[in-house]
Structure 1
Amino acid sequence: MKIEIWSDVACPWCYIGKRRFETALAAFLHRDSVEVQWRSFQLDPSLPEHYDGTELDYLSTRKGMAPAQVSGMFEQVAAVAAAEGLTYRFDDVVVANSFTAHRLIHLAAAHGKQDAAKERLLSDHFEHGRDIGSRDYLTSLGRDLGIDAAAVEELFSTDRFADEVRQDFAEGRALGISGVPFFVIDRKYGLSGAQPAETFTAALEQAWQESHPLVMVDAGSPATGEDGAVCGPDGCAV
């Protein structure tokens, strides 16, 4: 079973959704048969490489909301994140364009480190105030993931993986995805938003049952033609 997750590194609900999905997957009986692939999405492609201002400034300007209202929103989201074991520090968030970070996730996928890269980027952005658009930071992250420095350097000297990131954007649009996180199971089921773990569990179970239906076999004895004896609410066959 394959699950594709469209997500942006700069999306607070995407990290919460990741944790809730992981909770459901960890308890899923067939988790070893599940392939998870992270897909790229940008909430604001027009964002400059580096924004001269705080997350509060940025969202207040972009959404046309009063700063006090945005601060209240931060508090609510941080409380939800805390319930999932995450420590959001919105005052420390560095606002930056996430396009190169998405390219790094694709590079990490080529080295079998996609989920580790996604986890670090989300945590470093929302919990540790790291600059996800910084060349120094992304180079350091690549080194931590065990990726050759020359391969990481290509992200800054060439357009490697840029087409793959844009293809993710295009596939997301074709599927009707306009917000993230968005979870697609076997290109058949879609779940929008950071759903509760129980919702992910139900979706996993339903998708698995439909792709692996129980097939009944003829239980009759070849020698006697008799059916297998069973017991039910009204008693047992004699």
Structure 2
Amino acid sequence: MTTSPAGPFTPLAAPLSAPPRRIRVDVWSDVACPWCFIGKRRFAAALARFPHREHVEVVWRSYQLSPETPAGSGRPEVDALAEMKGLDRGQVQQMFAHVTAVAATDGLRYDFDRTLAFNTFDAHRLLHLAAQAGGAPLVEATMEALFTAHFEQGADLGAEGALVALAGRAGFAAHGWDADRVAAALAGDDAADAVRADLAEARALGVTGVPFFVVDRRYAVSGAQPAEVFTQLLDAGWREANPPAAVAGGDVCGPDGC
């Protein structure tokens, strides 16, 4: 018997009757963040091994690393980052070489020779439209398509029509959103308020870098951590949401007598 601060109670492995309480993981990320794609893969690996994964809701939230980037067609990422950070091209290329090597260990094939910097606001709008159209599965497919197009294929996601074409590849049409409907939504202001709300909440939480993972607004982890750290985060959130029941001890009879 284990004695607890509240009395001589024995923790049970699971509650007697109540179903497990779901936990929610909010993830702030930016399509233009190379560590976010790596973090996404590592978190997915941890979630795939988590025994209660069917009771975990994952919500992807918007964040912009460079909101001042002009809208429209992109320009070489190395030039944009060198200008923003005040570095020479050689220093930026060294940074890219490092993150490329790390990404490769997680099965990603970054190509910064082709990567183009672009304003990601409309890409985040597209992710919110995916949530409206097809829920979490379509968000997942759209995010993978965005990251892959940007970091591995050198696509110009700021070019006119690029996000509409990507939405088609991600599967919007299967949910009743053909190219014309996606184009009309992006041409207007659809989902812009949802993106702004995510950005405002990130500021309120003090988020200054991404990826940033929050479980039930109680536990947080910043950065592309190893999968084992994400496992610990999920475990902590699960224990908080589903504490073991407790039974008081006393004199009992068992198989060996009384």
Question: What TM-score results when the alignment is normalised by the length of structure 2?
Answer: 0.83
Q: Given residue 141 of structure 2, which amino acid in structure 1 is its aligned partner?
A: A
Identify which of 96, 105, 126 aligns with 1:83. 105
Match of 1:125 in 2: 150
- Partners in 1 of 2:73 and 2:109 — Cα distance? 23
What is the match of residue 184 of structure 1?
A: 214
2:88 pairs with 1:66: yes
Deviation per residue, 1:157-179 (Å, 9 max, x gap): 31010011000000111111111
Q: Deviations over 1:89-108 (max 9, x none)?
A: 00111211111110000000
Q: Percent identity?
A: 49
SS of equivalent residue, structure 1 residue 135 = coil
2:73/2:157 contact within 8 Å kept:
no
Secondary structure at the counterpart of residue 91 of structure 1 = coil
Indicate yes or no: 2:172 matched with 1:146: yes
Shift of 1:35: 0.5
Equivalent residue, structure 2, for 1:233 = none
Alpha-carbon distance in 2 for matches of 1:185, 1:140: 33
CA distance in 2, matches of 1:65, 1:178: 21
In structure 2, C-alpha distance between the alignment counterparts of 1:155 and 1:99, rounded to whole Å: 14
**Are 1:170 and 2:206 matched, yes or no?**
no
How far, CA to CA, are the matches of 1:67 and 1:146 in structure 2?
Answer: 38
* Structure 1 equivalent of residue 237 of structure 2: 207
Moved over 2 A (4+): 50-53, 154-157, 216-220
SS where residue 213 of structure 2 aligns?
strand
**Structure 2: which amino acid aligns with 1:226?**
V
Match of 2:252 among 201, 208, 226: 226
RMSD of aligned alpha carbons: 1.9
1:51 Cα deviation after fit? 5.9
Partner of residue 106, structure 1: 128
2:43 aligned partner, one-letter code: F
Query: Is the 1:50–1:95 Cα contact (8 Å) retained in structure 2?
Result: no
8 Å contact kept, 1:55–1:93: yes
Equivalent position of 1:134 in the other structure: 159
- TM-score where L is the length of structure 1: 0.90
SS of the residue 1:92 aligns to? coil
| 1:43 match: secondary structure | coil
Rounded Cα–Cα distance in structure 1 between residues aligned with 2:201 and 2:245: 35
**Deviations 1:90-149, CA, capped at 9 Å, x for gaps:** 011121111111000000011221111111101110001112223322111222213412
Partner secondary structure for residue 194 of structure 1:
coil
Q: Is the 8 A contact 1:6 1:38 kept in 2?
A: yes
> Which runs of structure 2 are paired with 1:31-46 in the superposition (5 Å)?
31-46=53-68
Gaps of 5+ in 2: 1-22
Letter in 2 for 1:66: D
For residue 232 of structure 1, what is the aligned residue in structure 2?
A: none
Q: How many residues in Structure 1 have an aligned counterpart in Structure 2?
A: 228
C-alpha contact (below 8 Å) 1:219/1:227 kept by paired residues? no
Q: Distance in 2 between matches of 1:52 and 1:209?
A: 45
